[in-house]
Amino acid sequence: MHCIPKVLPIVRNGAILIPMVLTEQQQKTIDLLNPWFSEKTIDLGVNRSSYLKAISSITKNQKQILFLLGSRRVGKTMIIYQYIYQLIKENVLPQKILFLSLDNTNLQDLELFSYLAQSDFEYIFLDEVQYFPN
């Protein structure tokens, strides 16, 4: 059902990374947060095309870290989801896009850096990063 890449041992800078195994609950949560893994769509709310254009112009042809800041409950998460679906319409493979909401208690024990280091996602969206420890 899900399209999470198979985790294989990785050698980086001469070090072997130990493969990380997700718990069943973590995998289910990741699948729910990423409905495009199973070709599902969600209600994307009000179209925020001006924000999407701004994000696209900043990230076009560049690897970028982009922070989306704003008050609580103004639609930042929906803008992220709208941008993800825009990427998919632009022929980015859905399996290459990851969204994680770090306030989700099912992900609190996720070894985030190990998980990301062992994946081949091209786009990674982290929501509620203030909940990430340290």
Cβ neighbours for 94, distance < 8 A, ≥ 6 positions apart:
3, 34, 36, 37, 39, 88
Whether 29 is in a domain gets the answer yes
Confidence label for 18 from pLDDT (cuts 50, 70 and 90): low
pLDDT in tens, 80-92: 999 999 999 999 9
Provide the pLDDT for residue 12.
Answer: 59
If we measure between CA atoms, which residue out of 91, 85, 89 comes closest to residue 125?
Answer: 85
Whether 34 is in a domain gets the answer yes
Residue with tokens 């009000």: 46
Whether 4 is in a domain gets the answer no
Whether 3 is in a domain gets the answer no
Look at residue 5 and tell me whether its pLDDT is greater than 70: no
Whether 42 is in a domain gets the answer yes
Whether 39 is in a domain gets the answer yes
The total of structural domains in the chain comes to 1
If we measure between CA atoms, which residue out of 27, 26, 28 comes closest to residue 108?
Answer: 26
pLDDT in tens, 22-68: 999 999 999 999 999 999 988 998 999 999 999 999 888 787 788 88
Q: How far is CA 89 from the centre of its chain?
A: 17
Look at residue 3 and tell me whether its pLDDT is greater than 60: no
Q: Which residue range is the domain that position 113 belongs to?
A: 10-131
Provide the pLDDT for residue 73.
Answer: 81
Whether 93 is in a domain gets the answer yes
Provide the pLDDT for residue 10.
Answer: 59
Whether 1 is in a domain gets the answer no
